[in-house]
Amino acid sequence: MLLKRLKIYLHNYSDKGCLGKEQGKSVSICFSIAQRREPNFYLDDPMAENNKNKKEESKKLTSIPVHDIKLKKGITVEGLFGEMEHIGGFSAQHMITGTHIIDDMLKDKKSFNFLSFPADIVSTGLRGVLASMTKHFNAIITTGGTVDHDLARAFGGKYSLGTFNADDAYLHSLKVYRLGNVFIENDEYGLKVEESFRKIMDDIYSSKDYKKEYSASELLYEFGKRIKDEGSILRQAYLHNVKIFNPGILDGAFGTQLTIYSQDHDFKLNLIRDELELSNISFDNKVTGALMIGGGISKHHVIWWNQFKGGLDYAVYITTATQFDGSLSGARLTEAVSWGKIKEKAKYVTIDGDATIILPFMMSALGME
């Protein structure tokens, strides 16, 4: 038996209304060409209603033609994105939609905007993009490993081009770590983190304004204050007064050093304090948005706290994960709507693809430096 109603949501709602009505029509489509949003389709069982308006509705569904890209010598990233505006397929169209949503989000002066990402991409050249993006957001939520990689590289840690197809047992015998296709000598990671941590932590501990108890965001602010590398995410967050929330700060080399340090120093880490601040952000801001790169604890912390204000108003999620294992990383943003973590009428899109490819193009198209 045919389903009486099937709805396929391509969730980027506009405020311009719909062509046709949801009730009494076989098909209706909501979109705003001016806002260049991806259409929102409602597809009904064609056997359930009469056919007199099918031609009219068909025209509405097919009103935006696919545009062939015309490459030109010396074309800019912004120009290329203009050519791709109506590329149609497949993840590229989601990338274009996501770029427009981020643009709207950052231009909305009422919106408190989050940037979230995991640690792995900080080991790549994308660290520079993330550092330059920091000043455009109100808060960052990330993981413990982000601090490890940012700190190691800020103090000269050498991360090298490698390959996915390596003999990992052989690399281990050479004391070379493999992170995807990035190679890192043991001393360029662990030793750099340990040495830089001790140097900075001792300076914090001996300072006249030492507090004995810190939240994760307060501690990372102090580290950013003492880092000299302008390419550091922690440094840029400090310079632009952007708080870094790190609910998994103990999960990594930095967290291990904190644990060791606390054994013979009067130091306490208060993880609850940041949670209370995230709660306040949720309740104090009527409009919120987020660019979420990858899943895990960083993504979930963004959407979790935003559910208490009724959900995000803007959301863009970049992922390579599949939704069919039930994981948070694979979950599309549509799933978050069912939890109230994203508003039903929010502007949002999930982009399937590798952030190391997608993000530099999106940020360049938006004119970020």
Q: How far apart are CA 204 and CA 259, in angstroms?
A: 16
Q: What per-residue string of b and e applies to 297-336 under the rule 16 or more CB within 10 Å gives b? A: bbbbbbbbbbeebbbbbbbbbbbebebeeeebbbbbbebb
Q: Check if the beta carbon of residue 95 is closer than 8 Å to that of residue 359.
A: no
Q: Check if the beta carbon of residue 111 is closer than 8 Å to that of residue 313.
A: yes
72 belongs to the catalytic site: no
Q: How far apart are CA 129 and CA 218, in angstroms?
A: 23
Q: Which two tokens stand for residue 155?
A: 């103090």
Scanning the structure block, which residue is given the tokens 């046709």? 20
Q: Which of 243, 309, 341, 347 is labelled catalytic?
A: 341
Q: How far apart are CA 167 and CA 165, in angstroms?
A: 7
DSSP, collapsed to helix, strand or coil, labels residue 165 as: coil
Contacts 24+ apart (CB under 8 A), 220-225: 220/147, 220/244, 220/246, 220/249, 223/147, 223/151
Active site residues: 341
